[in-house]
Each structure stands twice: as C-alpha cells, then as structure tokens.
Structure 1
C-alpha cells in the first residue's frame, strides 16, 4: 500500500477541478431527468413511449451523481467555514457562517416550493389523476398553496406543497446545520478525524473502505427505508448523503487523499464500468420478475462499489487533468444553481406540451435537452440582471457585490462548490 503523504492543506490556491466536477454533475442531472420521462420508473409525467430501453444508460449515473454532489458540497463547506473563521479572526468578531448559508439556501428553497415546482405537480395531476384535472393552472396553484391533500389516485394522495427536485437544497441546508453544530461543539473530534482518514484513505483504502460503508448502508437500510426525499423518514439517503458530505468536509484539505484518487483513477474507472455492467445485466434479467433474495442482497453491495468507484474515478481524472480557470467556468459557476432550480419544471412542462406532436423519442429526447438548456440559461441571463430576483435563485443581490466579494476572498465560492483553499 502506498504510504500516505500528510499535509493539512493543499498546496494549490484554487480548486477549479471541483468547480468543473460540480458544473458537469449538474449537467448530467439535466440529462438524467430528461431520461426519467422515457423510462418505466415513477416520475411526475411519463412518455407514451416509456420503456426499459433507456434504463441501462440511466444506471451509468444513477448510483453516484448525487453522492458526488454532496461530497463536493462538503468540501466546499470546509473552505467556506475556514474563510469565515479567518475573517472573524481578522475582525475580532465571531464566526459568521450559518446565517449566510441559510439565506443562500432557504430563500431559493421556499421560493421554489411556492412558485417554481408548482407546474410539476400540476401536470402530474393532469396526467395521473383519475379522470384528469380540468380547472386550470391558477385554480390548482391556489389549492397547492393551501396544502390541499385531495388529489388522490390508486397509489395515494399527492402531498402539497412539495419541494420535488429541490429536496437536494433542503438536505444540503440540514447537513450544513448538522456540520456547523459538530464544528461548534465537537471540533477536536473533527480535527482528529481528518488526519486519521488521510492515513486510511491515501492508498487502496480509498477504494475499499468508503465503498464498503456505502454498500453496507444499502444492504442494511434500503429494504427498510425506501428513498422518499421527504427528510423525516429517508434514513438510507441520510446515511449515504450525509456520510459523503461529512467525508468531503474532512478530506477537503488532505492532499494525500486527493493524490490517491489520481493514482487510482484507472482502477476506479474499471471497477465502475464492471459494476455498472453487472447491474445493467441484473436489471435486464429481472425487469419483470423478482430476483433470488441472496442475489438481491449481493447486488446491494455491488451498488455501493459502483457508487464509490465512479466518484473516485471522476475526482481522480478531474484532479489529474487539472482544468484551470476560464471565461466558461466563470460564467457557469454562478449559473449552475439557477439552472438547477428551473430545469425540472422546464422538462415537465415541455414534455407534456410536446406529447400531442407524437414525436419519436429519438427526436423528442434531444429536443427536450436543447429546450431545457436554452430556456434555463435564457432565464438565468434575465435573472442575473434583475437584483430582486437574484436572491430567489441563490445569487447575491448585486452582481458587482458578488464579484467584489470574490476578489477580496481570492476565490470564487458558490452554493455547492468553492474554488478557494485556505492559506496554510
């Protein structure tokens, strides 16, 4: 096993690789949600042409893309908290962190629940409510805001209001609060955990131990706690997502672990593709029947290995390629959060209204992708120019103020990523 190289902070001053990882991961999320329209899995609306055909391709990213985002968010939180601590030390005041993060996350979440996601629930009711829904969007919106629980079908009642895809923002805020409490009241424990992790994860242990933990979490919890995204009963997701969020926070400034990801990137890529192929074959073989229980349990461990191997491969290749700063990155980093907030509503609305054309999925799918990116980036161009709208989509009130803050900090920090590494 390689000997760990212990260093409390990375030697570089910016982490553009993590910004690019975040941007690309959210881009994959758009593609994934377009794909959800064409598979047999339950979603808000479903194509008349939905089938199993696209499901193996969906499994390329399904196990790991959100875990990757939570891990990068944890690393960003470490950088942001360190910067807040330095500012407090320089000014002689207390550390101001949680209030700013809460404003950045909760305002878009509440606005998104009240306004942005409403069309998703509306078209879900229109398509899936027995007999349909014919009172129009404005009437539905009023019932939505009142918390009307009367939209019921064979599978139960629609819970309103809802956060739909914005559950990620809610969970990120909850995990940030939990981490802040740990930092305030158990900081020595966190400070001891970081170097201990570096010793364990600076060689092949980087592939072994987190994969084992994720596999065991799935093995022990997924049969008892389904993935609900409802916060209060979502224990399997909390185990995996808060686990990687905390891991990202602890290893953010540990070069030994990041360098191990670079060394293991090819092995991780091979493991990811092998486990993906195994899961695709498994899903195909048992698409319409139940697998043997022993095989089902074994595949839960395979899922954990797939999940972590993909993350190591992505992080390792990103750090190896070391993409630098560019005008594209400076544009995309602040655009990611508004685009994320809007994208699923755009997909649902566009997909429903394209149905009368009867387009084949091979034509309609790429069209949906283009329409979604065009509409979301077009909306971003408008939002970023209107100061009252900016906080509703996770942006500072004034663009110039955001640029000045970035310059003063010597780095660009965003909602789930930060390119600044604190000085030694």
Structure 2
C-alpha cells in the first residue's frame, strides 16, 4: 500500500501494528533534503526531494536564494494572520511593523532593550499621526465606527506604552504590545468590505467560512505531571481557505471532534480527526458517504485560492503562500499524498522546523491547505501525546461567517 504521510490510516499510531511513519524512510528523506538543499544553494540546482521520487528525476525548483536571505521569516501567528488579510493599506502596515519589531527589541538583555523599544514606539506613533487619514479612508463604510473606536484605543495605548518605557517597566512592555497589535489587527479587519471573491461554482454549496472565526480547543492531557488540561485558542482564516475552514467549523458544530483522541504526536506534527471504524474521514449522514474537500491554496499576490492542485502541479515553484507553515502550531488539512482532493476531517498542527520545513522555504507550503494558527498556548502542543483527549472544540466568535452549515440541515 502506498505511503501517505498525513492521512493514511496506518500513520495513526494507536490503531496499527505497522510502523507509524516509516521512520527510516523519513530520516533518509531528511538527509537527502539536507544534502540537496546544500547543493542547491551552491549550484542553483533543484534541491527538494520527495521520499517517493528519485532525486535525479525530481524537478521542483528551489525558491530564489534572495527569498531565503531577504530577512527573518515571520513566525508569529498573529502577524501572519494580519498580513494575510485581503487589504492593501500601506499606512496601517507602517504602524504595524514597528510595533511587531518590539519583540526583537525585547531580546536585548536588561533595561537596554527599552531604548530600542522606545524607538519602535516613536516610529509607530509617528506613522499613525502622519497616516491616520489614509488608515481611516481604508475602513469599510459598514465598519467605520468600530474602526475609529479601535484607532482611538490604539493612540491612547501607544501613549501608555511610551510611559511604561519611560518608567522602565520592562515586564509590562510585551502585554501592552500584544494589546496594541490586537487593536491594529482589528482595524485591518475593519478594512475588509465583505467577502472579496466568488468561490468556484462547484464548491459554493459546501460549508464555507467567509471571513475569520475563532475556536477554543480543550484537551485533557494524560500522564503528564506538568500539564493536566489546556485550552488552545485557534484563529481560522476563511478569507484564504473558505472551503477548508468552513468544513472544519461545520464539523466542530457537529461536535465531531469532541471526545476524540490525539492520534499522532511525534515531535513533528500533532494530528487527529480519524473517526472510529474503517472510514478515514467524516461520513455525511445525509449521503452516507465520506465528505471530501478540495485542496485549497492561496498564493501571495492573488485574490482567490487555487483549487485541486499543488503549487508544484501548477509549476509555481517560486510562489509563496498567504498562509505559510511558518508558525509553531500552523493548522492544516491532512490528505492522501497522491489525491489532492481527499481532505475530509483529519487535521494536523506543525510543531518544528527541520530540513523539511524551514520557514520561507517549506516543502509543505503549497502541498497542504493551511487554514489557521494556534494563537494562545501553542507551546503546549509539544506536550500532547497519543491518547490525550479533545474534550471539546467550541466556536467563540465568527460563527456568523459560516454559510451553508450542513450541521443545521442534519439537525
């Protein structure tokens, strides 16, 4: 039977006697990619390899070296979500960037970090004063009042952050920074006027998330003296993955995942979603068949996703995705490796960088559909083990963005 790294039933460790990931093949794959990456950087030759393809015949090009060295990749899930919004407002981005740079400033030891933080705050404040009219003009008319309230809170909050820096209260900087960036993100969301494109006709009747939604996933942890129960906050991005995110929210509302165990946790990914029985996905009771969804990838610079094809299939070897596998806790849809449109209910969260998954040069990007990020308690994902139980997943905001909810039809 062909090896399917993220969907095939034998990858679920507690349900099979077969080796869960064919670890030898996996290690050989990592080794091959390490060598190929080094060769590619030196020679410019294609540098990625798939475990099922001969290196000599593999023709997927490495992204330009400039992509790899253009700057540190964005790994913060909040920042990734902000930049993924379908807006084009330079003025608000010029406020956002220095506030995000405070994270780097705080890596400096002691109170010296505050000098750098102060520069960040002054730059952000100046950008907001100079560009406020352009920010306001970018707000959607239906959301303008809310956006203006957030801008007032942002201005007041930056004054408060300036005072925190002057008082040398270093420990208060990061919480205030997070608060301010939440305001910025809210302003940017208020710039989105409706859903920005039409989903292809063949998918229009499926559950679709036309916007963002937030869910809380409560997990009961077994055999871990440090963690007993943890709630993970996850933001789902329907702007860039409406079909994938909509399918997931629909299953959440059906309580499909409640009581389900973590089925894979190997330090590379955490995975769940394989129901009991022979089926590898969600059986829709209205059809008595497995509900599958298409592979859905949004490329930077494009307004709508591409469906049913990997970026490799399309020859977009240098394209970057709007929702990359950069952040710890990146959430994606599992599928059969050899069938693009076989996603159903199995989901996984990426944990670690390796030769396989370096941020900004990631062979998972464009092959699997990312549809959200864990934004709170993501570090605890690494503590999860096979057999830990998802007690519940609940939508805490954005349910009104779900259209065609099949769970309501099912009653």
Question: Common fold, TM-score beyond 0.5?
Answer: no
Higher helix share: 1
Give the TM-score, by structure 2 length: 0.24
Q: TM-score, normalised by structure 1?
A: 0.24
